Amino acid sequence: MADLTANTTMAEITSTFPGSKRALFARYHIGGCSSCAYRDDETLAEVCERNEIKADEAIEYILESHEVDKAMLISPQEVKALLDSGEEVLLLDTRTREEHEAVAIAGSKFMTQEYQQELFGTWGKDKLIVLYDHTGGRVLDTCAWFQGHGLKGARGMTGGIDAWSKEVDKSVPRYRLEMD
């Protein structure tokens, strides 16, 4: 998407700017609960009008937040190059235990609450942690959580394990989740 305008739908915004939902909720309390929710087919202008926010201000904030989000991301190819170079990289799987046990990137650790708390207390603040999920859709939230707890070396892998499988290691099986 080349331009973000007040007439852009929320579905287009959240697809193009994955962290926009988090950003809108953090700054304006929009989209985080049933009382402030929006529909995918609503335009940004409609959402802003209902919430008494200037659309231009919301656009500016979404774009600023997107630049911050991009700095938290790392591509599968960059991760592979770091691993190949011998750099110390902690690969941390944020998916469900069932997903991790079914298919995982070699050498990755499964993130439990206990392991997360251990990392917050012992892992070097600037040491590289690469978080990954299934398709990269939720990794930014987890990455922001880690950085907010002082682990500034946390990065989220774009495209998740699915991109890793397509772009780096085709021996890692791809899968899709079936939702009821």
Domains and CATH numbers, the chain: 10-70 (no CATH), 73-167 (3.40.250.10)
Q: Tokens 């079914």 belong to which residue?
A: 102
User: What distance in Å separates the CA atoms of residue 36 and residue 70, rounded to the nearest whole number?
Assistant: 26
pTM of the predicted model as reported, rounded to 2 decimal places:
0.79
The model's pLDDT over 13-57, given as tens digits with 9 standing for 90+, comes to: 988 888 898 899 989 999 878 878 999 999 999 999 999 999 999
Q: Assess whether pLDDT exceeds 60 at residue 2.
A: no
The model's pLDDT over 136-145, given as tens digits with 9 standing for 90+, comes to: 888 988 999 9
CA 28 to each of CA 8, 25, 35, 36, 52: distance values in angstroms, whole numbers, following the listed order: 18, 5, 13, 9, 10
Bridge partners (DSSP) of residue 62 are none
CA 86 to each of CA 58, 75, 89, 99, 163: distance values in angstroms, whole numbers, following the listed order: 42, 17, 9, 27, 22
* Cβ atoms < 10 Å from Cβ of 99: 17
Q: Assess whether pLDDT exceeds 60 at residue 150.
A: yes
- With vertex at residue 58, the alpha carbon angle to CA 38 and CA 24, rounded to the nearest 5 degrees, is 50
What are the φ/ψ torsions at residue 130 (nearest 5 degrees)? -110, 115
Determine what percent of the chain is predicted with pLDDT higher than 70. 98
Q: Assess whether pLDDT exceeds 80 at residue 180.
A: no
How many Å separate Cα 100 from the centre of its chain? Answer: 18
Q: Assess whether pLDDT exceeds 50 at residue 1.
A: no
What are the φ/ψ torsions at residue 110 (nearest 5 degrees)? -85, 130
User: What distance in Å separates the CA atoms of residue 84 and residue 176, rounded to the nearest whole number?
Assistant: 28
User: What distance in Å separates the CA atoms of residue 19 and residue 21, rounded to the nearest whole number?
Assistant: 6
The model's pLDDT over 100-110, given as tens digits with 9 standing for 90+, comes to: 999 999 999 99
